[in-house]
Structure 1
Amino acid sequence: MDKGTTVLNAGAVEIAMAYRTDLMDDQGLCVQVYGSIEGKDTEILRFDCFDQNPHFHYGPENHNVRLFLDKTTAGNPLGWTMDNIRHKLPAMIRRSGYEALATAVEASPISAATLDDAESQGRDLSRSGRRTVHHMMPEMVDGDKIEVGNLKFGLEYRHLPQLNDEGMAIHVLADVAGQEVEVLAFDCFKSGPHYHYGPRNQDIRVYWDVTTSGETLRWTLDQFKAGNIRSMIEKAGYPSIAAEVDESRVQDALPQIEARSWELVALNNPSSNGQTDNKKTKAQLIQELESLREQVAAL
């Protein structure tokens, strides 16, 4: 782990910080305590104040003991981190395996002003560094935003030439404080298929393993059919919207959503005839059956 680019001199140690967005399924501020060990700038402690799985490391360059935070009892991860740096830093440095450095910090504690500055800068970085995604839906055709109770399902076939990728996207939208906000997004791309919990909020990205999930558009539609949309919206950070989802209306609208989704795939992939997992639609099967009947009648 590289040293954070925001660095504060704190006497015997330095406090370094950086906001991490390189983890697709998580993000958050990284707070590091550095000290000089035998002339080498060494990471002594690291606090990963992530949204989903906050944790901290004793001695990342030594024995690297990693422990997870329980947000229910610890509260805000950055607040917990700064409280422990303020009051328990020497003990934590000792557990990391650096007795002499712990003694030096005890002899010359970090000033309250420096700690206040570190916390203030950390909170600023947490606000300014947050990764969100705002899908503008430029390729959505008029009429392809289907209203279902308190939700809207936006259907769009996306082309991303800059990534050499394309595929069907389903945007689940809801009203948040008077604004239409995307609460879930399913990007069923050919090369990098993934979905987002709360693109405008936590932006938890999950990349499909197509070996286990199978065709990703079908997987997405199956989640809707199984009644999982409410729990997914809740995980995205919108519990009040999840509570208002009318599941019966969602199920009633699914045939329209499914048919139009496969139609958009077919329109953009003429040779594939729509579905990409070799499963045929009811209409296709009926057409084939009628053709067989005609052939039998002609015998």
Structure 2
Amino acid sequence: MVQAEIKTTFEAGPVTFTARHELWDGNIQDHADQGVSIVVQAEVNGEKTILLRFNCFDIERSYIYGPENPDLKSDGPMMLAGRTENSTGMGKMYRMDPTADGNPIGWTMKTIKKQLPEMLDRAGYPEIAKEIDFEVLADVVPELEASARELFVAKRNTVKHNRGTDIFEAGNIRFGLEMRRLPVGDGGLAIHVLTDVGGSTEKSFVEETEIMAFDLFWDGPHYHYGPRNKNHRIYWDRTLV
């Protein structure tokens, strides 16, 4: 059965919405995470420019005003004067509150639908903000939301390793060891942390799964939390390990 490609780009007057799945690695990107990013783009001075970005990840739940606007001014509270400058020099990021805002994709869609012009103005693009048509948004947002939610589930990055060539039992977990070699040439000892998550201890058809993995590679040593479901991957600092 051929699976239909997920539509990820949607036009809404002067702006374009793009949703995509992203996998972040710890110590490569900001932290280990994955989820869906939603960007709002438009033509600015003849170039396609990101005006707003929403991060709807497992951990990272945030939105950024003007991530490509070098002239955007930070306007923190007066009581924090002198301590609110953006260290990156571009864009202003705010965190979503998982308690008050709930699901990040749902919050993003509700906010886009109701307050996109205000956000574009805050990002430094008032002329584009004036061109937003709420009727067009009302038609586009449901499709964008469906796409983002499908990407979050369908494109999730997970891995299934071999269980190892040498197995060591340790109570309710076991360790599987093997030597691995990647096609790019890297490799080394892999340690798989395994456990049974289903079935009966008196039956032979228990469901074994890998709950952690340590890849002690020569060039890119790293480890995975929940490689078969969560798959948050963190690379070690080779200077210190």
SS across alignment from 2:227: coil
Aligned to 2:4: none
- Unaligned 5+ runs, structure 1: 215-299
Measured against aligned partners, the alpha-carbon deviations of 1:174-220 in whole angstroms (never above 9, x if no partner) come to 223442111111111222111111111221111111322x3xxxxxx
* Alpha-carbon separation, structure 1, partners of 2:112 and 2:197: 37
Give the TM-score, by structure 1 length.
0.62
Identity %: 42
Query: Which structure has greater strand proportion?
Result: 2
* Alpha-carbon separation, structure 2, partners of 1:165 and 1:12: 46
> Is the Cα–Cα contact under 8 Å of residues 8 and 16 in structure 1 kept in the other structure?
yes
* Alpha-carbon separation, structure 1, partners of 2:186 and 2:45: 50
Aligned to 1:115: 141
* Alpha-carbon separation, structure 1, partners of 2:102 and 2:232: 20
Measured against aligned partners, the alpha-carbon deviations of 1:129-182 in whole angstroms (never above 9, x if no partner) come to 111111024xx33xx3233332222222x2315232332222111223442111
Query: Which structure has greater helix proportion?
Result: 1
Structure 1 residues 12-31: aligned runs within 5 Å: 12-21=14-23, 23=25, 25-31=32-38
Which protein, 1 or 2, shows the higher relative CO under an 8 Å CA cutoff with sep ≥ 6?
2
Bigger-Rg structure (1/2): 1
How many pairs does the alignment contain? 203
User: Which of 104, 124, 132 is matched with 1:77 structurally?
Assistant: 104
Q: CA deviation at 1:117?
A: 0.7
SS across alignment from 2:136: coil
* Alpha-carbon separation, structure 2, partners of 1:185 and 1:123: 28
Alignment pair present for 1:149 and 2:177? no
**Aligned-partner residue type, residue 12 of structure 1:** P
CA RMSD of the aligned region, Å? 2.1
* Alpha-carbon separation, structure 1, partners of 2:125 and 2:188: 53
* Alpha-carbon separation, structure 2, partners of 1:149 and 1:161: 31
* Alpha-carbon separation, structure 2, partners of 1:38 and 1:6: 25
Residues 200 and 69 of structure 1: is their aligned pair in 2 closer, same or farther, counting only changes over 3 Å?
same
Q: CA deviation at 1:97?
A: 0.9
Structure 1 residues 172-191: aligned runs within 5 Å: 172-178=193-199, 179-191=207-219
Alignment pair present for 1:169 and 2:190? yes
